[in-house]
Chain A
Amino acid sequence: MNNSLLVVIVASAIFYGTPLLFAALGELLAERSGVLNLGVEGMMLMGAVSGFWAVQTFGGPGWLSLLSGVAVAALVAAATSLIHAFLTITLRASQIVSGLALTIFAGATGLSSYIGHVANLSGKPAHHEFTAIDVMGLGDAPFIGPILFHQNALTYASWALVGLILLYLYRTRPGLHLRAVGESPATADAMGINVTAYRYIHTMLGGALAGVGGAFFSLAITPFWLDGMTSGAGWIAIALVIFAFWRPELALVGAYLFGAFSSLAFTLQARQVHLPPEVFSSLPYLMTIVVLVLVSSGWGRRRLGAPAALGVPYVREER
């Protein structure tokens, strides 16, 4: 019964949704501080390439190597996001153009590809990869086993992260300050909150999480490195933040919904459902458009949940 279509689809939706969840949570934090970062795709690719490089380069036991891979991916992607932070927060450049520039700079034909080729990473399998953990021997429990107890460590980490971010946003003082900065930076400033620092920190946190999401591609989904291997996941993550009305728990639901669309091709093909592969592959992109239209035309009309100061640079002298 654990092989039934429903269980397989849900379990693989969670697996394929995990990188989307990481990236969406990161973008959510950045946008909550008022910074729209369209460079998620580029930062994910930087994470994918640098995480893979670290695993190939650093020896040690598998878990340590993978841990260093994730840490390097997070650091490198956070450093990449620093460019966007500097241009948009300090220089107050257009967040849209700067984010696009970040994706072109770091993306499939940019620095991530350059690093991958210079370090000669392509065409080799990863020395270590994230594999599913059989938690407490419940991995083959009926129905819930494959879904809840047979995922990899990063997926479990992402669940913890959703909880942490929820606590942070709604139950801590810095979380309250963050929301204030995103809604009304002038008010936050008057309260003595350092708007610039909050924006920098959360843009870089967003970069770090996008990097972890990227590393999930090169260390879990396809354990090798390829130019542009995230193929638009970063953009879907940006859309996810909108569907989720800027709420972490809804980002989790949305990420798994899109994880399901991404995994459907493999699941159904294994079951002899024959359709052109392009039909399945285009599903996540088409569904992104459909859901965005639904959200923006219906209840989202009032931009429910969007931080009021999203995309607006903060200038102290201005009221």
Chain B
Amino acid sequence: MVAVPIGSLIGAVILSSIILLATGHDPLATWQRLLERGFFSEGALSATLVQATPLLLTGLAAAAAFRMQTWNIGAEGQLYLGAVGASGIAIALQSQSAALVIPAMVLAGLVTGAAWAAIPGALRAFFRTNEIITSLMLNYVGGLLITYLIFDSHSYWRELSTFTSRVFPQGKYLSPSAAWPSLQIAGIGVPFGFFIGMFAAAGLWMLYRSTRFGFEARVIGDSRSAAHYAGIRTRRKIVAVMALSGAFAGLGGASEIGDFRHVLDPRGLQQASFGYGGIVVAALARLNPFAVIVVALLLGGLSNGGFSLQGADFPAGLVGTLQGLILFCALAGELLVHYKIRLGRPAGVSHKPADAARVGAA
């Protein structure tokens, strides 16, 4: 079960070491510093959780959709919209108590993220429009939307009360009652969003394992025609699963606002690219929600280490390169296991190529 993910990580580390060597960097020193910053130095784990929380939620978003072979690549945009919704409601309720504001923010993030994802979902269900491209296009639109709200409009989200904020646009900072609580466990600050994410993972696991909805979604994922003949309503299910997936990503956006940023910050949100990272998390976790938690922590550590070391001798771009390589290795490893390739022995194993096409996802 864990051989492929671990093998993928090792493979990715070896391959990226070659890239590091080729560009004149010492791989061993780089990995040592990366691990230290990501996991072992003081305060590293708290900083890692800052990265792992959104990755957990976007990872769940990808896992929820990919399990049904519905390719929601739009977690990035859905996360932005969740941030818009959560910060909007928090500004509207700024004089209220935390007990009201925080649940409202969670709900707003879920709803706006789900609504943004329902667009490509509905287009897929009713017009058979390729959801990969439409959900991805909406990422760019979502990014432009949050930029517009803060930089090019006098929107509700933008701070306009002081002179400097009119010259240098920025969002309204939220009142303290909108700050999500974090739990201190052995000196590590665990964000509220991470807890919600763990519950969400358990919920997703239950949904796919022991509900009719989840069963039907799995049948659709495994064979769309079988689902059709069995009388499963595929159209509604596609919209529902896309909305569910978007709700997770939107929750990630709400957590970005409530847990960490406390302001709608278009540049910061777009630079982080948590939506695409979530795809890597889900694939490496083989779409298992509980594994998503572990993988999110691992990749969160790599991102944290990578971003905090970024500078002259630790060039930007290494984090994405590493994520891509992990995904390549996971794909290759999955197939090697599937075909039970054994070196040095004649191939007498039965091939099941019909499954091969979706191995990376299933």
Q: Write out the residue numbers on chain B whose beta carbons fall within 8 Å of the beta carbon of A98.
A: 328, 331, 360
Chain-A contact segment, one of B105-113, B121-129, B172-180, B183-191? B121-129
Instruction: Check A276–B148 contact: CB distance below 8 A.
Output: yes
The B interface is mostly helix, strand or loop, or mixed, namely helix
Candidates B132, B325, B334; contact of A96 at CB < 8 Å: B132
A105 to B: closest C-beta gap in Å: 2
Residue of A nearest to B351 (CB): A317
The interface of chain A, by Cβ under 8 A from chain B, is 38, 42, 83, 87, 91-94, 96-98, 100-118, 227, 231-232, 235-236, 238-239, 242, 276-279, 281-282, 285-286, 288-289, 292-293, 296-297, 301, 311-313, 315, 317-318
Q: Is the CB of A293 within 8 A of B123?
A: yes
- Of the candidates B317, B357, B361, the one having the most CB atoms from chain A within 10 angstroms of its own CB is B317
Known contacts A87-B332, A104-B279, A278-B147; A110 and B137 CB within 8 A of each other = no
Find out whether the CB atom of B331 lies under 8 angstroms from the CB atom of A94: yes
**Given pairs A87-B331, A289-B137, 12 additional interface contacts (CB within 8 A):** A92-B335, A94-B358, A101-B324, A109-B320, A111-B317, A114-B315, A235-B137, A279-B148, A285-B137, A286-B141, A297-B126, A297-B128
A276–B279 CA distance with the chains assembled, in angstroms = 32
Q: What residues on A are CB-neighbors of B134 within 8 Å?
A: 288-289, 292-293
Chain B residues whose C-beta falls within 8 Å of the C-beta of A117 in the assembled complex: 315-317
B115 within 8 A of A: no
The 6 closest A-B pairs by CB, nearest first: A105-B324, A114-B317, A113-B317, A110-B320, A109-B320, A101-B327
A242 to B134, CA, bound (A): 13
**Which residues of the partner chain A approach B152 to less than 8 Å between Cβ atoms?**
276-278
A-B contact pairs, 20 of them (CB 8 A): A87-B331, A92-B357, A93-B335, A98-B328, A107-B324, A111-B19, A114-B19, A114-B315, A114-B321, A117-B317, A232-B140, A242-B130, A277-B152, A282-B141, A288-B133, A292-B134, A293-B123, A293-B134, A313-B356, A315-B353
Interface residues of B (CB under 8 A from A): 19, 23-24, 71, 73, 123, 126-130, 132-134, 136-138, 140-141, 144-145, 147-148, 152-153, 273, 276, 279-280, 283, 315-321, 323-325, 327-328, 331-332, 334-335, 351, 353-354, 356-361
Alpha-carbon separation in the docked complex, A229 to B336 (Å): 36
Known: A238-B133, A242-B130. A110 touches B321 (CB 8 A): yes
Tell which of A276, A278, A296, A317 has the most Cβ of chain B within 10 Å.
A278
- How far in angstroms is the closest Cβ of chain A from B222? 14
Number of A-B contacts (CB under 8 A): 185
In the bound complex, CA of A98 to CA of B315 (Å) = 25
| CB contact under 8 A between A288 and B137, given known A91-B331, A315-B351 | yes
The answer to whether A232 and B137 touch (CB under 8 A), given A93-B331, A117-B316, A281-B144, is yes
> In the complex, what distance in Å separates the CA atom of A301 from the CA atom of B129?
10
Q: Are A293 and B324 in contact, CB atoms less than 8 angstroms apart?
A: no
Chain A residues near B276 (CB, 8 Å)? Answer: 103-104, 107, 109
Q: Write the chain A residue with the least CB distance to B73.
A: A100
CB distance from A49 to the nearest CB of B (A): 10
CB-nearest residue of chain B relative to A110? B320
Residues from chain B with a CB closer than 8 A to the CB of A318 are: 351, 353-354
Q: How far is the CA of A317 from the CA of B279 in the complex (A)?
A: 32
**Would you give the shortest CB distance from B16 to chain A, in whole angstroms?**
9
A286 in contact with B127 (CB, 8 Å): no
Asked whether, in the complex, the Cβ of B317 is within 8 Å of the Cβ of A297, the reply is no
